Amino acid sequence: MPNTEIQFLEGPRSRWQEFSFTLKVFFEFIKGFRALHFVGPCITVFGSARFGEDSKDYQKTRELSGELAKLGFTIMTGGGPGIMEAANRGAKDVGGRSVGCNIRLPMEQHHNPYLDKWVTIRYFFVRKTLLIKYSYAFVIMPGGFGTLDEFFETITLIQTHKIFDFPIVIFDTTYHKEILEHIELMKNYGAIAPDDLKLYLATDSIEEATAYIRDNTIAKFNLQPEKKANSWLGEWKFGQMAKRKSGE
């Protein structure tokens, strides 16, 4: 099967090819909306797919996600192995809710076994939108290029007021030491405002991370019981607190 994303990003194509790709993206969004509309409110945990169960990052992620699930949030991840699996597993450990937004790759990435519900998306940019759309907080665990991409895109959306000022936690200050120093450097150069450093919390404490997210979400966004799903439309929900981010 040809990689339509590569073809799209190569440059201008015929009007029909551009329209055809746009339709594919449209239906990917609809697929994601139908699968995830009633899963929230979520906390999205970003992190590497490469860290195994024996790593401290896996264990810390599992523990932190369990504490966040106890607050009543659904834990959302990219649905794959490593840190993603640890986060979903942590939610299940405490009887919480766990969802994934998986990505289709040339080397097929299978969803992890700790998901109550998942959807597999073809395009990275659609997947990133869905991971942000349903969440009221974001946790950045150790990871690679993809994790940093997700972090900086999320904080940019908050900085530019494209989404509300949802809390962001950067977990493991040793791993993220150089990133945090570079953010400080950007502030010193005037590339970002001093107040932009208030958009996240960097910590090594599960208790501090949990309290920061709790204190900056539930009361702040007036999270309340969600309306029921419509079974006639094939909709599915957990049945917990939620409120539309638009303020409805």
Is the pLDDT at 240 greater than 70? The verdict is no
Q: Tell me the domain boundaries of the chain.
A: 42-220
Q: What is the DSSP letter of 237?
A: B
Q: Which residues, at least 6 apart from 130, have a Cβ–Cβ distance to it below 8 Å?
A: 32, 36, 101, 119, 121
Q: Which helix (H) or strand (E) holds 121?
A: strand 117-121
* Residue 241 pLDDT grade (very low, low, confident, very high; cuts 50, 70, 90): low
Distances (CA, A) of 139 to 20, 39, 93, 125, 236: 36, 18, 18, 19, 25
Is the pLDDT at 20 greater than 60? The verdict is yes
When the pLDDT of each residue in the chain is averaged and rounded to a whole number, the result is 89
pTM listed for this prediction: 0.88
Kindly report, residue by residue over 24-44, the tens digit of the pLDDT: 999 999 999 999 998 879 999
Distances (CA, A) of 72 to 97, 177, 227: 8, 31, 16
* Residue 230 pLDDT grade (very low, low, confident, very high; cuts 50, 70, 90): low
Kindly report, residue by residue over 176-201, the tens digit of the pLDDT: 999 999 999 999 999 999 999 999 99
Average the pLDDT over each of 133-147, 193-207, 219-233 and give the range with the smallest value.
Answer: 219-233
* Residue 171 pLDDT grade (very low, low, confident, very high; cuts 50, 70, 90): very high
Q: What is the CATH number of domain 42-220?
A: 3.40.50.450
The pLDDT assigned to 229 comes to 54
* Cα 71 from Cα 215, distance rounded (Å): 11
The pLDDT assigned to 109 comes to 67
Kindly report, residue by residue over 69-107, the tens digit of the pLDDT: 999 999 999 999 999 999 999 999 999 999 999 988 766
The pLDDT assigned to 188 comes to 98
* Residue 215 pLDDT grade (very low, low, confident, very high; cuts 50, 70, 90): very high
CA angle 61, 133, 216 (to 5 degrees): 60
> Look-up: residue for tokens 């945990």?
45
* Residue 2 pLDDT grade (very low, low, confident, very high; cuts 50, 70, 90): low
